[in-house]
């Protein structure tokens, strides 16, 4: 799953980073940005290393070495465009960025203190619908392609037996064929790519803003809507939580003829993406195995644990 900028008490190893290297990169990036890193505290380290600079009230997000620098720069440009348009997004800290330190792209964001409870699904609906209605941004965005992402992850998975990978390859083949028969109902446009409770933040006025724009793309809004539904159903938020979202958004993806195909593709991507990252988060392996067992049983109601 994508990293949130929320203040979360999570203490895994920082996403494949060597801890000493992580703090060295942070110190050098902060020196370039004129920020004090001495009281930095790790918030999350699953995909990127996300640290809070307590004194500065700024969040630093360090991408893994090898992350495409141009992609990070494009995300920064996109967020600046959102801010200029008055869109509800997590605010960038005002400095030149991204900064590149030893092959790591580093970005800085204004810290928004968070309560213990995540943003409710119903609060996601307004900003998400507004995003889907925006005109094209003045930058080129990738086309959203879940099947391609699944196949890319399958080639990099080393934590599951060959038979499990073959099974998921066959699932990808089946679902790709089924996707050809899906008629999308909504007009294509900007999509967040991974909208969910931890990719949004509470603001001081009680509203919510979207964050974590690494997956922003051009595509079908149905992919964003089914992602919210999957998170409500799999991670224990419940049907009422999802119905509040659908009612506020004004469209229910579960009533749509293509729902089951989109749901199965999105869930397969969530399994394969996390399986690919196990080498950076070995404690997640048991959950990956549990999800895969549920996939084989076609268990669409199996609760998942957040990774």
The token pair that represents 207 in the structure block: 């509203």
CATH number at residue 281: 3.90.1200.10
| The last residue of a domain, from among 85, 110, 135 | 110
Percent of the chain with pLDDT over 90: 83
> Does the residue 116 lie in any domain?
no
How many domains would you assign to the chain? 2
Contact 287, 307 (CB under 8 A): yes
Neighbours of 8 (CB within 10 A): 15
Segment 110-123 mean pLDDT: 93
> Does the residue 5 lie in any domain?
no
Q: Name which of 11-15, 57-61, 263-267 the model is least confident about.
A: 11-15
**Residue 150: domain span:** 121-296
- For position 177, what pLDDT does the model report? 98
Regarding whether 207 and 129 lie in a shared domain, the answer is yes
Regarding whether 265 and 160 lie in a shared domain, the answer is yes
| Element spanning 267, H or E | helix 259-276
Regarding whether 138 and 99 lie in a shared domain, the answer is no
Regarding whether 196 and 238 lie in a shared domain, the answer is yes
> Does the residue 307 lie in any domain?
no
Segment 57-69 mean pLDDT: 91
- For position 198, what pLDDT does the model report? 87
Interior/surface letters 177-193, b for 16+ CB within 10 angstroms, e for the rest? eeeeebeeeeeeebbbb
Overall pTM surpassing 0.75 (yes/no)? yes
Instruction: Examine the pLDDT at 66 and tell me if it is beyond 90.
Output: no
The token pair that represents 220 in the structure block: 């079908």
Q: What is the pLDDT of residues 7-16, one digit of tens each?
A: 333 344 455 6
Segment 130-139 mean pLDDT: 96
Segment 37-58 mean pLDDT: 91
| The last residue of a domain, from among 86, 110, 134 | 110
Question: pLDDT-based confidence at 271, cuts 50/70/90?
Answer: very high
Q: Write the CA distances from 290 to 134, 168, 275, integer angstroms.
A: 39, 14, 11
* Average pLDDT of the chain, as a whole number: 92
- For position 4, what pLDDT does the model report? 38
Segment 11-28 mean pLDDT: 76
Regarding whether 148 and 99 lie in a shared domain, the answer is no
| Residue 55 DSSP symbol | T
Phi, psi of 159 (to 5 degrees): -95, -5
| The last residue of a domain, from among 110, 135, 158 | 110
> Does the residue 7 lie in any domain?
no
Q: What is the pLDDT of residues 168-195, one digit of tens each?
A: 999 999 999 999 999 999 999 999 999 9
> Does the residue 194 lie in any domain?
yes
Regarding whether 215 and 146 lie in a shared domain, the answer is yes
């Amino acid at each position: 799953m994508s990293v949130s900028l929320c203040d979360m008490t999570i203490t895994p190893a920082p996403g494949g980073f060597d801890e000493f290297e992580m703090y060295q990169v942070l110190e050098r990036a902060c020196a370039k940005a004129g920020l004090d890193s001495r009281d930095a505290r790790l918030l999350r380290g699953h995909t990127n290393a996300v640290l809070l600079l307590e004194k500065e009230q700024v969040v630093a997000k360090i991408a893994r070495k090898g992350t495409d620098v141009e992609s990070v720069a494009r995300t920064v440009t996109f967020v600046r465009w959102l801010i200029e348009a008055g869109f509800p997004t997590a605010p960038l800290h005002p400095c030149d960025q991204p900064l590149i330190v030893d092959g790591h792209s580093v970005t800085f964001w204004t810290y928004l203190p968070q309560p213990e409870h995540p943003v409710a699904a119903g609060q996601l609906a307004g900003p998400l619908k507004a995003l889907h209605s925006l005109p094209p941004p003045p930058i080129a965005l990738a086309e959203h392609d879940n099947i391609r992402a699944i196949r890319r992850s399958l080639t990099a998975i080393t934590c599951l037996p060959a038979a499990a990978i073959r099974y998921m390859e066959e699932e990808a083949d089946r679902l790709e064929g089924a996707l050809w028969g899906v008629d999308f109902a909504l007009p294509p446009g900007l999509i967040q790519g991974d909208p969910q409770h931890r990719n949004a933040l509470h603001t001081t006025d009680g509203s919510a803003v979207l964050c974590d724009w690494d997956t922003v793309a051009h595509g079908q809004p149905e992919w964003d809507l089914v992602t919210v539904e999957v998170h409500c159903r799999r991670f224990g938020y419940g049907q009422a939580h999802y119905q509040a979202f659908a009612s506020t958004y004004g469209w229910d993806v579960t009533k749509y003829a293509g729902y089951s195909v989109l749901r199965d593709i999105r869930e397969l991507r969530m399994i394969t993406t996390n399986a690919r990252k196990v080498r950076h988060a070995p404690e997640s392996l048991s959950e990956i195995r549990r999800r895969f067992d549920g996939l084989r049983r076609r268990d669409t109601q199996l609760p998942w644990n957040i990774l």
